[in-house]
């Protein structure tokens, strides 16, 4: 039984996530880590997924790829990945209901995933070349020569010498190991790469190099990159569009320039204003008061209301829907109740 | 400790299962005298020749009698009691020694560690069973307690190694450093900082020692090298073999002790696994939380 | 930032090095200098927040541990109130412990998971004899928690996993406040808590300085955090202090190539100001063997010259209070490192 398939005449959309809910069964009830996420990813863009610890972004990233492990499970929702069949149409299939064999085909070949701490899971007893080649053989039918050629191509693209192939992971520095994981990820020319905090453990200098390389590779190869990190400055450097996640939901989604210049959601505003800037005004900053809520017990209505400086009565009762309030800018906040299209949709509590 | 056990219970089906099975057996062992006293009165359960031999299952002898004229149910219950007793006793001794050695080794380091570690490793490497057999052969009157001590001697090594490994990691933990800068002295750190966090490992080491001791006991007894005047499960196996119960079609004489042992070992293993199961997902949770 | 000779020094680190042996196959011993002839001094007055900027591998944590008395040093000496750290009497040692307190990086790891969080406070109160009755203990704890903007009811009786990272770190601050130390050595205190909550913590450190005269040595890899704290800054690279001065001076005239690279590499949180061009950084591993006769940065420096691999650069005076250890500035006057503030 193959997954549900739909056709689109718009080839710009690469992925559509609709009302995705990923929950964890715990002894204290269900932890609703991802609780109704709606996202659209466009082809060839660098989409930044921002948010702080506990907001659900890693769960989301892993969930789309079918990597959710017990006690986590998909409660509902779809993650539809579209592949181009012609210049004007694409065919989409739901990754969440795909049979495992098809999903494995998808992974690596179409969607590559660089998990958090990827450089630490390189097998310490295998040479680099074998690790990359194994990934290539596993997910494609390239011949040995083709695979080797491809591997060297990728190593060069990430700025590593061909001699690295014969080395073991412990002989490389953190930055080099991370580049190896990136090389492995692009080896099969995927359409989408999802990277989860790839530079968190690296030095600032190394981070700069890797970010610049990732950006070049993404633009150069025409692939789409979903970059997950809590570091807003990194998003400012490389993202085209930004999705801000809070308490398992996307609260704002907009082009990165707009997000920084005029953030709409009070959480985004708080987030951006709590980043210390070198050379900026040094008056005391306040950050966002209160604590991040727990997925076992999300606040009622709008989840941000207990910490929001502009909370109103309605915020406590009803969850604001995600509305497009300006071209390309979506926000889920009662301060912006009117969508571009005019009609306000029914609210859910 | 209690909350740890409670959490294991809630998290792991294996743990629940193991605890229930083990509890049943322990209950049987504890309640044993209540059951067999009515049958044999004040006599020792191991005493032969009290009844007619090879009686079938009747109301008076629910499992019949064995080749030595003993009531089988009494055999079994008393044997279970003794075997479990030996196991737990040996387990306690082994764990205590193991904890002491493991702690000292890890905390003191240096030459103390080197000496203790070598000794521990030697013990692990030496084939315990042949030595146990040799000792058993040479010592004519082996009481239950002495058996326990001998068995304990060979099972503390595993405990010691695990504890040592754990303490060595914990020594470097930030909260130990915090204790140091807060003025705690070394002993306080060992007892109040490190020891409480070792509970799961202590329990696992204990469980392992118990199983190890029971296996050794069964092994010695089954070969007939242990004292034959005290009935244990291992001894029952030995007798069953000797009487040729297969041909006599009274297989249950063999199956009951074997079955009991298998279930007990399985239960303890499941408890161990259950504890591991609880510990591991918790470790995972801690690392993904930022 | 003048050197007041009559200003007592609380902690004086003089040419301290910490050498670790690296086990290698064969007979050759390799060793690495985690801290390489570092000198710095923390004064009694005025209370200041000194930022120590360094990345992973720079030796900052090792230096912090040496200054806290948790790790012995290999070369050089460290003086507490003028007395050598290894020669302190018992009561002087307690005084040292009381006055030099840490804040560690991992907000959750710092608590023993077996106990409630306020045990950390209890332990400190008990060992340093800060209270004489249970009521006093309770009062002290409540006062300290309120001083760090926490409600005692929210914290007392809770386990570490029930609090957030930010709260845990603030409880640590409350704990140090109990002792009113002269110096807090904070090793990456905010890198593991959410950005939105970092400000709370940093503001409390600033409050400590202003209200309670507590100085802090703030160790961080994030220049932006160091900038927010203001004050003197030291740049640590591969175990050596390569540049030091007031943060404004360093921003205005970054003199060491490493400082310059660091500044250029920091992502700026404004999409209108993105990096231009490609960074020219050689990514190599830290030079392993302790070679005292070269500049530590020579392998990665884009402006390395011949002399850099033959000698160690001394400290040159760039401007008042601003020093750099780099041969690019060899035209400037040399300063004896023990003269630095």
* Structure confidence at residue C264 (pLDDT): 85
For B10, the closest of A27, A54, A71 (CB atoms) is A27
Could you list the residue range(s) of the whole structural domain that residue C216 is in? 9-268+285-339
Q: How far is C211 from C204, CA to CA, in rounded Å?
A: 10
pLDDT tier at A9 (50, 70, 90 boundaries)?
low
Tell whether C274 lies on the interface with A, counting CB pairs under 8 A: yes
CA distance A178 to A201: 10
- Torsion over CA of B252, B257, B260 and B261, rounded to 10 degrees? -140
Taking the CB of residue C142, how many other CB atoms lie within 10 A of it?
Answer: 19
A/C interface, count of CB pairs below 8 Å? 132
Measured distance CA(B102)–CA(B169) in Å, rounded: 12
Q: How high is the pLDDT of residue C1?
A: 37
Q: In what helix (H) or strand (E) does residue B277 lie, and over which residues does it extend?
A: helix B252-288
> Which residues on B lie below 8 Å from A54 (Cβ)?
289-290
Closest Cβ opposite residue A203 in set C55, C197, C203: C55
Report the percentage of chain C scoring pLDDT > 90. 27
Q: Which of A166-170, A260-264, A277-281, C311-315 has the lowest mean pLDDT?
A: A277-281
Choose the most confident range, by mean pLDDT, from B53-62, B140-149, C317-326: C317-326
| Candidate ranges A132-136, A140-144, A207-211, A247-251; pick with highest mean pLDDT | A247-251
The domain spanning residue B50 has which CATH number? 1.10.3720.10
The pTM is what? 0.78
Average pLDDT over residues C263-276: 81
What whole-number distance in Å separates Cα of residue A239 and Cα of residue A152?
Answer: 28
Query: What does DSSP say about strands A192-196 and A111-114: parallel, antiparallel, or unpaired?
Result: parallel
Residue A19 or B2, more confident: A19
Query: Cα(first)–Cα(last) distance of chain C, in Å?
Result: 7
**CB contacts < 8 Å between B and C, how many?**
52
| Residue C171, domain CATH | 3.40.50.300
Is C318 a residue whose pLDDT tops 80?
yes
Residue range of the domain that includes B60? 2-288
Q: Are C106 and B177 an interchain contact pair (Cβ–Cβ within 8 Å)?
A: no
The domain locations on chain A are 5-110+190-276+286-331, 119-188
Considering only alpha carbons, which residue of chain C is nearest residue B175? C110
ipTM over 0.90: no
Contacts by residues B127-130 (CB-CB < 8 Å, ≥ 24 positions apart): B128/B154, B128/B216, B129/B216, B129/B219
Test B181 with C68 for CB contact under 8 angstroms.
yes
Q: How many CA atoms lie within 13 A of A92 on its CB side?
A: 20
For residue C57, CA distances in Å to C24, C123, C237 come to 19, 33, 8
Q: Do B181 and C102 touch (CB under 8 A)?
A: yes
Across the beta sheet with C334-335, the strand order is C100-103, C183-187, C215-220, C49-54, C232-237, C240-246, C322-324, C315-319, C334-335
The set of chains that have 3 or more CB pairs under 8 A with B is A, C
Buried b (16+ CB within 10 A) or exposed e, A114-152: bbbbbbeebeeeebbbebbbebbeebbebeeeebbebbb
Show which of residues 298-317 on chain C sit within 8 Å of chain B, judged by CB atoms: none
pLDDT tier at A345 (50, 70, 90 boundaries)? low
- The alpha carbon of C244 is separated from its chain's Cα centroid by a whole number of angstroms, namely 13
pLDDT band at B288 (very low <50, low <70, confident <90, very high): very low
Q: CA A202, CA C267: separation in Å to the nearest integer?
A: 13
Does C3 reside within a domain? no
Phi, psi angles (nearest 5°) of residue C255: -100, -25
Interchain CB contact of C81 with B (< 8 Å): no
Would you call A259 an interface residue with chain B, using a CB distance cutoff of 8 Å?
no
Residue C288 at interface with chain A, using a CB cutoff of 8 Å: no
Q: Which of C55, C197, C227 comes nearest A276 by C-beta?
A: C227
CA distance C30 to chain B (A): 22
* Distances in whole angstroms, Cα of residue C8 to Cα of each of B264, C3, C90: 70, 11, 21
What is the distance between the alpha carbons of residues A219 and A45, in angstroms, rounded to a whole number?
8
Is C165–B183 a contact, with Cβ atoms under 8 angstroms apart? no
Residue C23 scores a pLDDT above 80: no
Report yes or no: A53 at the B interface, CB cutoff 8 Å.
Answer: yes
Q: Do B196 and C114 touch (CB under 8 A)?
A: yes
B53 or A246, higher pLDDT: A246
Q: Which of A278, A283, A284, A288 to mutate to test the interface with C (most CBs of C within 10 A)?
A: A278
At A58-93, the pLDDT tens digits run: 889 888 888 888 788 888 888 888 887 777 777 888
Contact C124 B175 (CB under 8 A): no
C2: pLDDT confidence band, cut at 50, 70 and 90? very low
Residues composing chain A = 349
Neighbours of B58 (CB within 10 A): 10
Please answer yes or no on whether A27 and B288 come within 8 Å at the CB atom.
no
3-state secondary structure A69-112: CCCEEEEEEEEEEEEECCCCCEEEEECCCCCHHHHHHHHHHCEE
C123 shares contact with chain A (CB less than 8 Å): no
Say if residue C4's pLDDT is above 50: no
* Domain count across chain C: 1
Sheet containing A90-94: order of strands: A5-8, A90-94, A72-84, A13-26, A29-42
Decide if B178 and C127 are in contact by the 8 Å CB cutoff: no
Contact: C267, A208; criterion CB under 8 Å: yes
Q: How far is B80 from chain C (nearest CA, A)?
A: 37
pLDDT at A114 over 50: yes
| C101 contacts B181? CB cut-off 8 A | yes
The 3-state DSSP class for residue B107 equals helix
- Per CB-CB distance under 8 Å, the chain C contacts of B197 are 112-114
Flag whether residue A324 sits within 8 Å of chain C, measured between CB atoms. no
Q: Two tokens at C11?
A: 């902690």
CATH 3.40.190.10, domain A5-110+190-276+286-331, yes or no: no
Q: Is residue C46 part of a domain?
A: yes
C230: chain A residues, CB-CB within 8 Å: 282
Which chains lie within 8 Å of chain C at 3 or more CB pairs, if any?
A, B
CB A248 within 8 A of CB A34: yes
Residues 204-223 of C with CB under 8 A from A: 206, 221, 223
CB of B3 less than 8 A from some CB of A:
no
- Per-residue pLDDT of C24-68, as tens digits, reads 666 667 777 888 888 888 888 888 999 999 887 788 888 999 999
Sheet holding C75-80, edge to edge: C30-43, C9-22, C75-80, C83-84
User: Secondary structure of C279-309 in the HEC alphabet?
Assistant: CCCCCCCCCCCCCCCCCCCCCCCCCCCHHHH
Cβ C178 vs Cβ C144: under 8 Å: yes
Q: Are C275 and A277 a contacting pair at CB < 8 A?
A: no
* C-alpha B76: how far from chain center: 18
On whether residue C4 sits in a domain, the answer given is: no
For residue A124, give the DSSP letter.
T
- Residue C85, min C-alpha distance to chain A (Å): 33
Residue tagged 């079609």 (tokens): B249
Which among A287, A247, A250, A254 is positioned nearest to A269, based on CA atoms? A287
- Burial, B115: exposed, middle or buried (Cβ in 10 Å; 0-12, 13-18, 19+)? exposed
Nearest CA in chain C to B182: C124
DSSP per-residue codes, C199-258: HHHHHHHHHHHHHH--EEEEEES-HHHHHHH-SEEEEEETTEEEEEEEHHHHHHS--SHH
Contact flag C123-B177 (C-beta cutoff 8 Å):
no
Partner residues linked to A8 by β-bridges: A90
What's the confidence (pLDDT) of residue C277? 66
Strands A249-255 and A323-326: unpaired
At residue B239's C-alpha, the angle toward residues B249 and B89, to 5°, is 130
Interface contact flag, C271 A206, Cβ < 8 Å: no
**B181 contacts C113? CB cut-off 8 A:** no
Taking the CA of residue C58 and the nearest CA in chain B, the distance in Å comes to 20
> Chain B: residue nearest C166 by CA?
B290
The HSE-up count of residue A287 (CA atoms within 13 Å, CB side) is: 19
Segment A219-238 shows an average pLDDT of 89
- C135 in A contact zone (CB under 8 Å): no
CB burial of B5-33 (b: ≥16 within 10 Å; e: otherwise) equals bebbeebbebbbebbebbeebbebbeebe
- Which tens digit of pLDDT belongs to each residue from B65-100? 777 777 788 888 888 888 888 888 888 888 888 888
Higher local confidence (pLDDT), B180 or B222: B180
User: Which chains have 3+ CB pairs within 8 A of A?
Assistant: B, C
What ranges in chain C are assigned the alpha helix state H? Answer: 60-67, 90-99, 118-127, 134-147, 152-155, 165-179, 195-212, 223-229, 247-252, 257-265
Q: Do residue A54 and residue B290 have CB atoms under 8 angstroms apart?
A: yes
> What is the DSSP code string of B26-64?
HHHHHHHHHHHHHHHTTS-TT-SSSS-TT--S-SSSTT-
Q: Which residues of A touch B284 (CB under 8 A)?
A: none
Q: Which three-class secondary structure state does DSSP give residue B207?
A: helix
Res A1: pLDDT:
35
Name the residue among C203, C230, C212 with its Cα closest to residue C51. C230
User: For residue range B38-51, what is the model confidence (pLDDT) as tens digits?
Assistant: 777 777 777 777 77
A167 touches chain C (CB under 8 A): no
Enumerate the residues of chain C whose CB falls inside 8 A of the CB of residue B281: none
Does a structural domain hold residue C111? yes
Structural domains counted in chain B: 1
Q: What is the C-alpha end-to-end distance of chain B, expressed in Å? A: 27
Q: Residue B290: its chain A contacts at CB < 8 A?
A: 53-54, 230
- Measured between CB atoms, does C113 come within 8 Å of chain B? yes
| Neighbour count for residue C33 (Cβ, 10 Å) | 25
Whether cis (ω within 30° of 0) applies to the bond prior to A139 is: no
Is C26 inside any structural domain?
A: yes
Question: Cβ separation of B173 and C113 shorter than 8 Å?
Answer: no
pLDDT above 80 (res A214): yes
Kindly tell me if the per-residue pLDDT of B286 is higher than 70: no
Touching B: C residues 146-185, CB under 8 Å:
165, 175
The verdict on A274 touching C (C-beta cutoff 8 Å) is yes
Confidence (pLDDT) at A297: 85
**Is C70 a domain residue?**
yes
Q: How far is B129 from chain C (nearest CA, A)?
A: 38
Burial C85-104 (b: 16+ CB within 10 A, else e): beebeeeeeeebbbbbbbbb
List for chain A the helix, strand, coil content (%; round to 5).
35, 25, 40
Instruction: Please indicate if any CB of chain A lies within 8 Å of the CB of C23.
Output: no
Cβ contacts of A49 within 8 Å, gap of 6 or more: A57, A60, A61, A226, A227, A228, A229, A243, A245
């Amino acid at each position: 039984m193959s997954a549900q398939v739909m056709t689109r005449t718009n080839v710009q959309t690469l992925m559509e996530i609709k009302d995705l809910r990923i929950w964890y069964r715990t002894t204290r009830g269900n932890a609703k880590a991802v609780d109704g996420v709606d996202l659209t990813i466009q082809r060839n863009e660098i989409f930044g997924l921002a948010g702080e610890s506990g907001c659900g972004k890693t769960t989301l990233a892993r969930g789309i790829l079918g990597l959710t492990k017990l006690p986590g499970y998909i409660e509902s929702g779809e993650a539809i990945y579209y592949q181009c069949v012609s210049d004007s149409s694409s065919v989409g299939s739901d990754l969440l209901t795909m049979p495992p064999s098809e999903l494995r085909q998808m992974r690596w070949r179409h969607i590559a995933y660089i998990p958090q701490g990827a450089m630490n899971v390189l097998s310490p007893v295998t040479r680099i070349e074998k690790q990359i080649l194994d990934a290539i053989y596993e997910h494609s039918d390239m011949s040995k020569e083709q695979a080797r050629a491809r591997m060297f191509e990728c190593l060069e693209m990430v700025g590593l010498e061909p001699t690295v192939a014969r080395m073991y992971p412990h002989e490389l520095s953190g930055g080099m190991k991370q580049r190896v994981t990136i090389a492995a990820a692009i080896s099969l020319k995927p359409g989408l790469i999802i990277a989860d905090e790839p530079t968190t453990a690296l030095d600032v200098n190394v981070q700069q190099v890797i970010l610049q390389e990732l950006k070049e590779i993404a633009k150069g190869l025409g692939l789409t990159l979903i970059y997950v990190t809590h570091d807003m400055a990194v998003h400012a450097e490389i993202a085209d569009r930004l999705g801000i996640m809070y308490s398992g939901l996307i609260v704002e989604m907009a082009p990165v320039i707009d997000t920084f210049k005029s953030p709409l959601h009070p959480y985004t505003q708080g987030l951006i204003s709590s980043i210390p800037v070198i050379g900026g005004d040094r008056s005391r900053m306040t950050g966002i008061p209160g604590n991040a809520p727990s997925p076992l017990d999300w606040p009622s209505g709008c989840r941000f209301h207990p910490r929001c400086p502009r909370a109103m009565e309605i915020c406590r009762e009803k969850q604001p829907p995600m509305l497009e309030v300006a071209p390309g800018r979506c926000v889920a906040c009662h301060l912006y109740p009117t969508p571009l299209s005019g009609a306000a949709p029914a609210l859910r509590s | 400790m209690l909350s740890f056990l409670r959490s294991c219970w809630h998290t792991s089906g294996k743990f629940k299962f193991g605890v229930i099975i083990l509890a049943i057996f322990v209950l049987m062992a504890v309640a044993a005298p209540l059951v067999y006293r009515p049958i044999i009165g004040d006599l020792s359960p191991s005493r032969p020749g009290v009844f007619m031999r090879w009686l079938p299952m009747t109301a008076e002898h629910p499992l019949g009698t064995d080749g030595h004229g003993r009531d089988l149910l009494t055999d079994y219950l008393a044997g279970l009691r003794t075997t479990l007793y030996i196991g737990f006793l040996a387990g306690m001794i082994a764990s205590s020694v193991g904890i002491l050695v493991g702690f000292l080794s890890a905390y003191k380091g240096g030459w103390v560690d080197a000496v203790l570690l070598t000794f521990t490793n030697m013990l692990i490497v030496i084939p315990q069973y042949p030595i146990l057999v040799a000792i058993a052969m040479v010592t004519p009157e082996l009481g239950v307690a002495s058996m326990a001590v001998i068995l304990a001697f060979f099972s503390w090594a595993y405990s010691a190694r695990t504890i040592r490994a754990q303490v060595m990691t914990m020594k470097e933990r930030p909260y130990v450093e915090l204790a140091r800068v807060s003025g705690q002295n070394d002993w306080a750190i060992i007892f109040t900082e490190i020891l409480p966090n070792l509970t799961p490992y202590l329990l696992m080491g204990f469980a392992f020692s118990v199983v190890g001791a029971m296996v050794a006991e069964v092994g010695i007894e089954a070969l007939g090298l242990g004292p034959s005047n005290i009935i244990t499960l291992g001894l029952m196996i030995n007798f069953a073999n000797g009487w040729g119960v297969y041909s006599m079609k009274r297989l249950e004489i063999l199956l009951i002790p074997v079955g009991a042992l298998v279930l007990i070992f399985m239960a303890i293993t499941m408890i161990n696994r259950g504890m591991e199961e609880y510990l591991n997902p918790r470790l995972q949770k801690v690392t993904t939380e930022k | 930032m003048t050197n007041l000779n009559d200003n007592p020094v609380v902690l004086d680190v003089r040419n301290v090095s910490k050498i670790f042996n690296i086990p290698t196959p064969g007979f050759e011993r390799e060793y690495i200098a985690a801290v390489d002839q570092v000198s710095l001094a923390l004064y009694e007055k005025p209370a200041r927040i000194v930022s120590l900027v360094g990345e992973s591998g720079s030796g900052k944590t090792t230096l912090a541990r040496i200054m806290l008395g948790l790790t012995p040093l290999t070369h050089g000496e460290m003086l507490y109130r003028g007395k050598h750290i290894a020669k302190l009497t018992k009561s002087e040692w307690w005084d040292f412990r009381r006055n030099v307190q840490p804040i560690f990086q991992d907000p959750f790891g710092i608590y023993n998971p077996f106990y409630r969080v306020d045990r950390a406070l209890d332990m400190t109160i008990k060992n340093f004899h800060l209270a004489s009755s249970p009521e006093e203990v309770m009062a002290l704890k409540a006062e300290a928690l309120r001083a760090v903007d926490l409600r005692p009811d929210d914290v007392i009786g809770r386990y570490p996993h029930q609090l957030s990272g930010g709260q845990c770190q603030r409880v640590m601050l409350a704990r140090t406040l109990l002792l009113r130390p002269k110096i807090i050595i904070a090793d990456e205190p905010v890198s593991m808590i959410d950005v939105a909550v970092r400000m709370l913590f940093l503001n409390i450190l600033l409050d400590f300085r202003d209200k309670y005269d507590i100085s802090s040595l703030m160790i961080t890899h994030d220049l932006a955090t160091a900038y927010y704290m203001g004050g003197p800054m030291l740049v640590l690279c591969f175990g050596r202090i390569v540049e030091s001065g007031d943060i404004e001076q360093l921003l205005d005239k970054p003199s060491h190539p490493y400082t310059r690279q660091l500044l250029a590499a920091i992502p700026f949180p404004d999409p209108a100001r993105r990096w231009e061009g490609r960074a020219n950084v050689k990514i190599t591993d830290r030079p392993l063997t302790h070679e005292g006769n070269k500049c530590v940065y020579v392998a990665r420096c884009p402006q390395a010259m011949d002399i850099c691999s033959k000698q160690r650069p001394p400290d040159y005076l760039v401007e008042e209070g601003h020093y750099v250890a780099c041969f690019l500035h060899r035209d400037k006057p040399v300063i004896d490192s023990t003269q630095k503030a």
